[in-house]
Amino acid sequence: RFSNDFTVKKILGNGANGCVFETANKFDQGEYAVKRVAVDAANKYTIIEALKEVEVMKDLYHEGIVKFEDAWIEEPPVGWQRAADNQILMELIYKDPVCLYPKITSQLFHSCSFRCIIKMTAFSSMFKWSCVTLVWPSGSLKMNFAT
């Protein structure tokens, strides 16, 4: 669903377990930040921990906090995600060849394919993007983008 609904525009940043992309929704043309966080698909506890953000965010209402809107779960085929991410990366490099995207290290474990998507929307105009959070399998793809 994510790849069908969103177009990645650029990489906004990364952390220890994930990466954030600026995206555009193909249907409503809205801009969204997409955060991907690594979890272990075989370990329900790590998935529950990752979904705690949804539980907290759905009850928060403040002009300085994005508002929870939607959530869904996807399970891409084994090996599919690496090819999809490589395609996204090549498109980003083609658009901006001077960027720092090529400074990447990646590692793939083909046994994991669980991800959860949490869609949020901006509550105030102080946010340029709404947020969509993707929870990835632990080790399925870890990218370290230079910032």
Known binding positions for ATP = 35
Residue 62, classed as helix, strand or coil, is coil
Residues in binding site: 35
Question: Cα(36)–Cα(17) distance, rounded to whole angstroms?
Answer: 8
81's tokens: 């995600």
CA nearest to 133, candidates 69, 63, 77: 69
Cβ within 8 Å of residue 36, ≥6 positions away: 18, 19, 20, 21, 115, 133, 134, 135, 136
Chain-centre distance of CA 115, in angstroms? 9
